[in-house]
Chain A
Amino acid sequence: MRKMSDLGLFGSVYEQLHEYSDQFNKFLFTIRRHDGIQRTEARLRLAQLLRSVTDKQNNSPSAHIVRMVLQRELPRTLGQPVSICDTLADALEHRDPLPQELESLGKISIAVNTECYSTMERMQGKI
């Protein structure tokens, strides 16, 4: 039997994840398809998002949760620990991402999207 407030908990976790996921997707798409100022702005914002997760001073529940999700998912897909985010952020702060970096960013996006999606599934009692 599901205990009380599974839904409340998943709902909160979803809220805590989906904004990060939506913003990450938005900036990544912009980097991929635009040039000039739009692209520069997007990569700097994406760098900020990556830093928000790796910054130990950032105390928001969202940051902690995203950090845990990436700690669990990233090593399998990238073969690297969470510090890949710091490396990517370093790169994005100075230049456009290289193809392999774009691929890594795509995998981060999929990891967080998937967690969002499976949290929604849990809310709906499908898993």
Chain B
Amino acid sequence: MLQHNGANAGKDMIFSYYKAVLAQARERTKILKAKVSRPVKEPDLLALRQRCESHLDVILRELEELEKDEYLERPEMLRQKVSILKKIISNISYIETTGIAALDRMKGDDIFLTRLLFHIHEEIGYPLLPPAVTCLSRQYYSIYPMLGLVQVPLAEADSLLHLPDLYHEIGHPLTSSKDNPRVEPFTNALGRFMEFAGQHFETEYVRTQRSSGPRDYFGVVVRQLQQSWVIFWSQEIFCDLFALYTLGSAYAWSHFHLVAERCGDPYRVDLSGGSEHPPDSARMEALLAGLKLVGMNQESELIRKRWEEFLLKLGYSSNEMYIRACPSSLLHKAALCAFEGTKGIECTIVSSSVGTHLVGDLLNKAWIEFWKSPIEYAVWEKQVIKNLKKHLASSSSTFCA
């Protein structure tokens, strides 16, 4: 028993505080569970609700185990106990502000896009459950793989040109899928590429240490690039390529659109710790290589010309750091590995010929219409979206683009 002097009273207070924090966390989780336990507006949302509930149940179990763990009651284990509690509280916040917020808000546009993504998953033979979609994004497209929820900006239900990014987002759950034989070819392909990238920069590191230049600086740079490629960039590029291989050139156009519309220097290499995205030019180079792999050489050349025109007119050019960070050999290897991975999971690979994919064909046609007449495109798009929404709302109506 601790004696009540100043130091021990302080220790008691901290222990009591964290006990109370744990109890509060448990109560909050139960409140969130009650919020989720209502009828859903749409069958496609059942999976999201179920995932939210499952996550909340896991959190409740973790809190209970943490509370009962006598070993972690020891004073010397406080730091470890608190680090686990913090992780759990982060998880509660995550579920609250994402899945549960989305379920609480579901409106017409969210349901339309959720149905659209359902169609996409059918068309391409996507092996996992299709995510729900919410228009709650405060930035751009993103996905919460743990919840099966895609977030898009508010007006995306009335626009086609960025919708190809949905295909990129559904690539992410594939990269983190486990114990699923159907998805293993994809994760194995990603693993092979990570190994290749890791080894490339290991070799680079050895080379820099033998060189006569500023070894320390370049040693740090190469290690940073190795970390970025293996942990982050490989996954991003794989998702780009998955989108390309299942949708087609519309994804490459969408990438062009995103960069030209919103982003900075496409050759800029971000060397801050754990930079998440490869340079945009590297992503485009991988996409163009991918288009050639699927036999879409004409489309690849057309996009390349427009891309190079964009770079020239805006004064962007390659630099030594970019070439060091994103060698063509690495990008082409990514294109090849991702192609093998996408084929391996039996998703439908795009080809030049027009198919019978309602959504895929429409998104590709949108870009053809846009380049035919960029100014008048909006009129065409408005009508097509109106027809599409009507079609998805009622399966008996015929869709006409």
Binding site for B on A (CB under 8 A): 1-16, 19, 25, 29, 32-33, 56, 59-65, 68-69, 72, 106, 109-110, 113-114, 116-117, 120-121, 123-124
Contact = CB atoms under 8 A, between A and B. Distances in A.
Contact of B226 (A68, A114, A116): A68
Interface stretch (B190-198, B365-373, B386-394): B190-198
A12 B140 CA distance: 17
B94 A120 contact: yes
A115 to B, nearest CB: 9
A25 B168 CA distance: 33
A29 B77 CA distance: 11
Contact of A124 (B83, B90, B145, B236): B90
8 nearest interchain CB pairs?
Answer: A59-B191, A8-B172, A7-B142, A15-B176, A8-B143, A12-B176, A64-B194, A11-B145
A7 B227 contact: no
Given A32-B71, A117-B87, A12 B230 contact: no
Given A12-B235, A68-B231, A33 B258 contact: no
A8 B198 CA distance: 22
B151 interface: yes
Nearest to B191: A59
A118 to B, nearest CB: 9
A9 B276 contact: yes
Contacts of B236: 5, 9
Given A6-B139, A16-B175, A29-B69, 18 more contacts: A5-B142, A5-B143, A5-B165, A5-B236, A7-B151, A8-B172, A11-B145, A12-B175, A13-B176, A13-B231, A13-B232, A13-B235, A15-B178, A16-B176, A65-B230, A68-B226, A123-B144, A124-B97
Contacts of B258: 4
A9 B228 CA distance: 12
Contacts of A121: 90
Given A68-B227, A120-B94, A123-B94, A9 B86 contact: no
Contacts of B145: 8, 11-12, 15
Contacts of B235: 9, 12-13, 61
17 contacts: A1-B262, A5-B141, A5-B142, A7-B143, A8-B239, A9-B235, A11-B143, A12-B173, A19-B178, A29-B69, A64-B194, A64-B198, A68-B198, A68-B230, A69-B231, A106-B80, A117-B83
Contacts of B231: 13, 65, 68-69
A15 B146 contact: yes
Given A11-B172, A117-B90, A61 B194 contact: yes
Nearest to A33: B71
A28 to B, nearest CB: 10
Contacts of B172: 5, 8-9, 11-12
Interface string B231-246: 1100110010000000
Contacts of B263: 3
Contact of A61 (B94, B139, B143, B191): B191
B91 interface: yes
Contacts of A60: 187, 191
Interface in B175-231: 175-176, 178, 187-188, 190-192, 194-195, 198, 223, 226-227, 230-231
Contacts of B276: 3, 6, 9-10
Contact of A25 (B84, B173, B230): B84
B140 to A, nearest CB: 4
A126 to B, nearest CB: 9
B343 interface: no
